[in-house]
Structure 1
Amino acid sequence: MIKKLTSIFILALSSVIFIGCNSDNKNISNEPKSETREMKIVIPDGLPAIGAAELIKNNTEIDNYKLNFSIEKTTENLVTSVLKNEPDIAIVPSNIAATSFNKSGEYKIAATTGFGSFYLISTDGTKDIKDLKGKEIYNIGKGLTPDIVTKTLLEKMGYNSDKDFNFSYVNGVTELAPAVLSGKVKYAVVPEPALSQIEAKKKVTVILNLNEKWKELFKSNYGFPQATVIVKKDLITNHQMFLEDFLKNLKESVDFANSKGKDLGAICSDIGVSVKGDIIAKSIDKANLKYVPIKDSIKEYNDYFRILNEFSPKSIGGKVPSEEIYLQK
């Protein structure tokens, strides 16, 4: 069953996530512990790892809790691990959080570290969406979340996404970025940090910031959630002070990345992030890294899960998850 679920969501995960420091180790939890416990924390390579880089680099232990970080390079390993309920904490695409909850109910959503980082771009100077009618636009994975988000926005803007535009698809950003750079693709929906990688070598025009348009059309404070922090229910019940301290440090790490903290690129390199340091610095402004606790973003998730369910129920595990998925305080 796990193998089947993994195959269904493997492309969804890669399309969303793999697009892919100033303090000493901290002992800050007051929660009494008689012995050291290891916490397994899984984070995908790319923007989520960039946001968590300062935390990973400088925190090997919080009180008696040893932090065992794993930065996953492949989508299969991350999805399989989460669907097997192996990590204590993980950062995953929002639809995988819903899928995992619908499967086992083992994890709750605690926060978001990144919202939409997708951009509709052109390489021939085209600036207006209306000028793309009848043109071929490339995206990642037909029926997957980038496709659903793009078509939802176009429909809300008054277009017929199936008739007004000609969409073509590739399996992932590792195919899309080279196609844009080679000149084969003129119009595409591209995420950060791939967009900055392309901009370093080719002049592009951003036609539409998908997250900003989502905020406008859905009256959203933050946009659509992209990188979701999920935590095991056991932590909520039995290790609450540790969890609060961990999330506090994660927020500080995301803030550090957004401030382009000193040596961010070097820190990311040290912990194994695959994106080059110079590209990381360029991508931060459009990466939309933002730490928001779930209590402040439930509307964003409810809207997002509802829309994904309308397009493809299997993308979130068959149904909109109940409100029990949210860690609320």
Structure 2
Amino acid sequence: MTFFRCLCLLLILCCCNSKPKTDGGTIRVSVLRGPSAIAFAHWMEETPVVDDKPLSVRIIDSPDLMQAALIKGEADIAVLPMISAANLYNKGIRYHLAGCPIWGTLYLVGRSDKGISGENKPVLHIFGAGTTPDILTRHYLRQHNTGYTLNYSFTTAQEIMQGLLAGKVDHAVLGEPFLSIALRKDSTLQILADLNRPDSVSSGFAQTAILYAPALKKSQKAIDSLLHLSCRFAVEQPEQAIRILEKEKIFASGMLTPESIERCKIDYRTASEAQENILRFLQLIGQYEPKALGGKMPDEKFYK
């Protein structure tokens, strides 16, 4: 892409971002800050175009803010937790499910695996009661009959990471990029378990959803193609993806490594390709926290 074209698109994006609800010049893409943003680094560097409209990527700082943006119709494409997508669907927010780009970033980390099955159950620190990290942790512990006392005193992954580095926490559940930061800063820490696989042959849990507005239904194939390309870019050129994400100040310098990206299990699959995996994941969520889905499983139209 030429410098002149980049400059023109940048000017277009700036103008459109000033009035997101009234300007139809761009397709507004809202991505939750965190691992999901890694899969969209390529879109931040080489602005894609659908139906002669550039895709403008905006980073959203929390799932609650993302849900608010969708309810208000302030996003044309959105990337958010799969349980949030199902919950919104059950509330009548009718975006289409494009597919899943991220298949798991959660790991059990600690200084030693000694005593995990012993009489004195070690404390496992986790955040977000009733959310995906909590549910997948409880599911893993039940599956493997592993004894831990769960502690929710820390409210964020960053606080847990700081507790690990300060020596106040010995066992915790962390996702990227905080996992890589902790491992790099404290060589005594190690990954004890991968919480993202329902079984040994699975690629992971369908934890992340990409939604798009009904008006983009006619462009579904083009969007799917761009999503495949963007996810492959992150996997095949992790150093370039990291450079873009740092330049855009999505992640601070040094937070991400190629290993971080590998541990995110980035692999875009369309809703039809991943339907069985998504259904299995949502059934698991419903088993532990039905309220997280809005009290029921979404019907078949959720996948269409």
TM-score (norm 1): 0.79
Post-superposition offset of 1:153? 2.0
Alignment CA distance shift 1:46-1:252 (3 Å): same
User: Which of 47, 72, 79 pairs up with 2:35?
Assistant: 47
The secondary structure found in structure 2 opposite 1:140 is coil
1:209 alignment partner in structure 2: 194
For structure 2, the 5+ residue unaligned runs are 7-23
What percent of counterpart residues are identical? 24
Q: CA-to-partner distance for each residue in 1:197-247, whole Å, 9 max, x for gaps?
A: 1011012121111113x233xx6x3321122111122221xxx23x32222
Q: CA-to-partner distance for each residue in 1:104-130, whole Å, 9 max, x for gaps?
A: 14112111110111111112x326853
Post-superposition offset of 1:131? 5.0
Alignment CA distance shift 1:43-1:130 (3 Å): same
Alignment CA distance shift 1:80-1:105 (3 Å): closer
CA distance in 1, matches of 2:95, 2:115: 42
Alignment CA distance shift 1:132-1:93 (3 Å): farther
Across the two proteins, how many residue pairs are aligned to each other?
Answer: 285
2:67 alignment partner in structure 1: 79
Runs (4+) off by over 6 Å: 21-25
2:45 alignment partner in structure 1: 57
What is the identity, as a one-letter code, of the residue corresponding to 2:175? P
Matched, 1:227 2:215: no
- Contact 1:260-1:284 within 8 A present in 2 as well: no
- Contact 1:127-1:207 within 8 A present in 2 as well: no
CA distance in 2, matches of 1:42, 1:51: 13
CA distance in 2, matches of 1:118, 1:177: 13
Q: What are the residue-to-residue correspondences of 1:239-258 with 2, within 5 Å?
A: 240-241=218-219, 243-258=220-235
What is the identity, as a one-letter code, of the residue corresponding to 1:234? A
CA distance in 1, matches of 2:81, 2:114: 30
CA distance in 2, matches of 1:215, 1:105: 33
Q: What are the residue-to-residue correspondences of 1:178-217 with 2, within 5 Å?
A: 178-203=162-187, 204-212=189-197, 214-216=198-200
Post-superposition offset of 1:73? 2.6
2:150 alignment partner in structure 1: 167
Post-superposition offset of 1:83? 2.9
The secondary structure found in structure 2 opposite 1:318 is coil
CA distance in 2, matches of 1:79, 1:127: 41
Q: CA-to-partner distance for each residue in 1:12-33, whole Å, 9 max, x for gaps?
A: xxxxxxxxx99987xxxxxxxx
Q: What are the residue-to-residue correspondences of 1:143-158 with 2, within 5 Å?
A: 143-158=130-145
Post-superposition offset of 1:277? 4.6
Post-superposition offset of 1:70? 0.7
Question: Which shifted more, 248-257 or 271-280?
Answer: 271-280
2:301 alignment partner in structure 1: 324
Q: How large is the RMSD of aligned CA atoms in angstroms?
A: 2.6
Alignment CA distance shift 1:270-1:312 (3 Å): same
